[in-house]
Amino acid sequence: MLRLQTPLPDTYSSATPEDLASRIERAKATLGSRVVILGHHYQREEVMRWADHRGDSFGLSRLAADNHEAEYVVFCGVHFMAESADILTADHQQVLLPDLNAGCSMADMADIDSVEEAWEAVAQVTDIDRVVPITYMNSSAALKAFVGRHGGAVCTSSNARAVITWALSRGDKLLFFPDQHLGRNTGYQLGYTDADMKVWNPRLELGGLDERQVKESTFLLWKGHCSVHQRFKVEHVEAARREQPGVQVVVHPECAHDVVALADQVGSTDYIIKAVDAAPPGTSLAIGTEIHLVQRLAAEHPDKTVFSLDPLICPCSTMFRIDDAHLAWVLEGLVDGEVRNRITVDADTAQWARVALERMLEIV
């Protein structure tokens, strides 16, 4: 989805790092408790140092919702996270995303029109009342609302197993979007096989499947993926094991299943942080997730060898769009009484998206 960020004025784009740092510091001090800055774990260090709270996507939205004091929530993360924060915060709070082009390529792989078309197509060949839609947190508010309206729920990478188990107690089949890997990895964990899980390609008629496949499968997995996590390959695991005997391989469930199957541990961003914290001094850990988090973990654990499973740096390019210049621009705007890059979700969408989020919270 194209979201156009206006180019920053020269006073930001040409400013030195030192100038931007002192301007951010001053604006933050002027705004005081009227503003809270949230930093997702994948943010670069330059930005992360200003965050009042660090966390994963859902954790940060909840922090924003629990903070009734701040009028402004500056979300240093990507678009779907800022939308979730807007859904969960009170009406008097406004959420700002420093760069509107900070989207998520995976979230953009499922749009509401394609999901509605898929739903109608599935309904032509099977009892739709027995199909439960589940969306990963990494999706637009419109998809969360779709799921809320159709009796489904949101899941995150930490609770996908519980949410899918719940869904299969209410129906026979899941339409899971947008990340096929999280769906497949969780399906395997629950004992399902390839025969039970079929990829739904939204560009093809009936998802590229035949009627029997749609009827007989338990998981219809949307053909979406994360370009950052899909880069990790079996060869990387083999090389890490060869070069660092005894290494612990810890990967995110957005990685492909062949990598997950070889890893020692698999879990969400939060899980990975805890796994590194819990490892005894001297442990080597090869991490399959976004590079800024890996680098931060390495710096925070000098007594352990923490490195990226992929030796070639693989940042999330959209997370990387947030920098000090954009942060200074939104903060100085607030000081001047101008709200820049506000992210809003309309009332009807927000209401149904909240239903889907609350269902998830009841399940876990």
What is the full DSSP assignment across 109-126? GS-HHHHHHHHHHHHHHS
Residue 47 binds ligand SF4, judged by CB under 6 A: no
- Pick one of ligand SF4, ligand 13P, none as the site partner of residue 97 (Cβ within 5 to 8 A by kind): none
The minimum distance between CB 254 and ligand 13P, in angstroms, equals 5
By CB under 6 A, what part of segment 242-271 binds ligand 13P?
254, 268-269
Helix (H, G, I), strand (E, B) or coil at 241: helix
C-beta neighbour count of 338 within 10 angstroms? 9
Residue 106 binds ligand SF4, judged by CB under 6 A: yes
Judged by CB under 6 A, the residue of 157, 295, 308, 318 near ligand SF4 is 318
By CB under 6 A, what part of segment 130-159 binds ligand SF4?
138
Judged by CB under 6 A, the residue of 38, 48, 70, 137 near ligand 13P is 137
Which residues lie closer than 8 Å to 256 by C-beta, 6 or more apart? 181, 230, 232, 233
Judged by CB under 6 A, the residue of 24, 279, 309, 316 near ligand SF4 is 316
Q: Between 43 and 217, whose beta carbon lies closer to ligand 13P?
A: 43
Residue 332 binds ligand 13P, judged by CB under 6 A: no
Do 308 and 291 touch, CB atoms closer than 8 A? Answer: yes
Annotate each residue in 277-296 with x if it binds ligand SF4 (CB under 6 A) or - if it does not, as one string.
Answer: -------------x------
Stretch in the footprint of ligand 13P (CB under 6 A) among 50-58, 120-128, 143-151, 236-244: 50-58
Q: Which of 326, 364, 353 is nearest to 12 (CA)?
A: 326
By CB under 6 A, what part of segment 172-231 binds ligand 13P?
226
Q: Which of 350, 357, 351, 361 is nearest to 83 (CA)?
A: 350
ω into 7 cis (within 30 of 0)? no
Sign of the torsion formed by the C-alpha atoms of 128, 113, 108 and 214:
positive
Judged by CB under 6 A, the residue of 105, 156, 159, 218 near ligand SF4 is 105
Residue 56 binds ligand 13P, judged by CB under 6 A: yes
Do 318 and 96 touch, CB atoms closer than 8 A? Answer: no
Q: Which of 243, 225, 224, 226 is nearest to 308 (CA)?
A: 243
- Pick one of ligand SF4, ligand 13P, none as the site partner of residue 86 (Cβ within 5 to 8 A by kind): none
CA 85-31-67 angle, to 5 degrees, is 35
Annotate each residue in 68-107 with x if it binds ligand 13P (CB under 6 A) or - if it does not, as one string.
Answer: ----------------------------------------
How far apart CA 148 and CA 144 sit, in angstroms, is 6
Helix (H, G, I), strand (E, B) or coil at 209: coil
Stretch in the footprint of ligand 13P (CB under 6 A) among 56-64, 320-328, 336-344, 348-356: 56-64
What is the binding site for ligand 13P (CB under 6 A)? 56-58, 137-138, 156-157, 226, 254, 268-269
What is the binding site for ligand SF4 (CB under 6 A)? 78, 104-106, 138, 226-228, 290, 316, 318-319
